[in-house]
Structure 1
Amino acid sequence: MIYETNRLIIRVLEEADYEDVKQIWGNEEVMEHCLGAISHELLPEIIRTYIHCQAEKGLSVYAVVEKESSRVIGAAGFNVKDSLEEVEMIYHFSKEVWGRGYASETGAACLNIAKQTGKVKKIYASASPHNPSSIKILEKIGFDFIGLKWFEDTKQEEPYYEMVVD
């Protein structure tokens, strides 16, 4: 376990999470604002990549487990490129749990996880302009709106946010 809230456990992804992750990253509606669903064949490699990232860098994207059901209901955490000094926060949740405040709860927990490393200096995030709920979450958990930024992968300008870690 990496972190715990009243309703959630945040832990390292496991290969056994494949079926649950398929309902998140492999779901077209969940991934509508993120270039669409990821091919189910690619999901095991993505899970292994995040497991490896945690082992190598101590920070990654994690499984979000609902305590009440013991099911993986989301994936959230950090895409780490070269160093831990600057990381991207992401979060995706199974459609069946939308609107329950899990993304805000997990986002706040992820910020604490990043701070605990003592190495993260800046966290950034963006959201599709067509996803007002995600934008609201970033603002609610304390990110600063920097402006619109062009993203080549999505071929659109998106609201871009940053947080400086003390």
Structure 2
Amino acid sequence: MVVAETDRLLLKVFEQEDAMEVKRFWGDEEVMAQCSGATPHSKIPKNLEFYRDCYEKNGISVYAVVEKTSGHVIGAAGFNVESSINQVELIYHFAKDIWGNGYATEAAKACMDIARKLKSVTCIFASADPKNTSSHHILQKLGFQFVEMRWFEDTKQEEPYYEMQF
């Protein structure tokens, strides 16, 4: 099910058939080095099911990002819903071979449009590894405001923490 479309991308609810392509980014140590590390391939189907269930329950989730020209899943972008649909975390991860093409910015903008349509989302937050200057640039370009340096247990480090209020 497609939830958003841009000039070059489709954002869709994850399906189990996406598991092989998802390994290109979530299963890649280099791509996930600045997060909490690569996801073991055996856990990817369960993650896809989790995000599908999240969408069905909340109307918002992390989505598969499909490049229109190739039809391939090249990344993931969307929202982790933790304790409440009111405050969600924006994330995006993309296959290494497509970095530098503006896809993360394009997908993140589409995600922000999805969140704005849901009246229940009042705050979106995000963080990124201090060395990931590309992600910081994207967040600033989208209008996120730097709040503080914050400790993240999953990455075992302090990271810049951003928010956007609706």
Task: Calculate the TM-score normalised by the size of structure 2.
Answer: 0.97
Q: Deviations over 1:13-33 (max 9, x none)?
A: 110000110111000111010
Unaligned residue ranges in structure 2 (runs of 5+): none
DSSP 3-state at the match of 2:111: helix
- Quote the residue 1:68 is aligned against: 69
Query: Aligned partner of 2:92: which letter?
Result: Y
Alignment deviations for residues 24-57 of structure 1 (CA, whole Å, 9 cap, x no partner): 1000111010121110000000000000000111
DSSP-derived class of the 1:87 partner: strand
Q: Could you tell me the TM-score, scaled by structure 1's length?
A: 0.97
- Counterpart position of 2:136: 135
Aligned to 1:37: 38
* Paired AA for residue 27 in structure 2: G
The residue that corresponds to 1:121 in the other structure is: 122
Determine whether 1:110 maps to 2:111. yes
Matched length:
165
Q: Which residue of 1 aligns with 2:14?
A: 13
Give runs of ≥4 in structure 1 deviating > 6 Å: none
> 1:54: which partner in 2?
55
Distance 1:83 1:114 in 2: 13
For residue 81 of structure 1, report the CA deviation from its aligned partner. 1.3
In the alignment, the residues of structure 2 paired with residue 102 and residue 153 of structure 1 have an alpha-carbon distance, to the nearest angstrom, of 25
Aligned to 1:96: 97
- Distance in 2 (alpha carbons) for counterparts of 1:96 and 1:153: 26
Calculate percent identity across the aligned residue pairs.
53
**Residue 82 of structure 1, CA deviation:** 2.3
Where does structure 1 lack aligned partners over 5 or more consecutive residues? none
Q: Matches of 1:103 and 1:128 in 2, distance apart?
A: 16
What's the counterpart of residue 24 of structure 1?
25
Residue identity matched to 2:51: Y
Could you tell me how far apart the structure 2 residues matched to 1:83 and 1:145 are?
22
Shift of 1:86: 0.3
Question: Which AA in structure 2 matches 1:5?
Answer: T
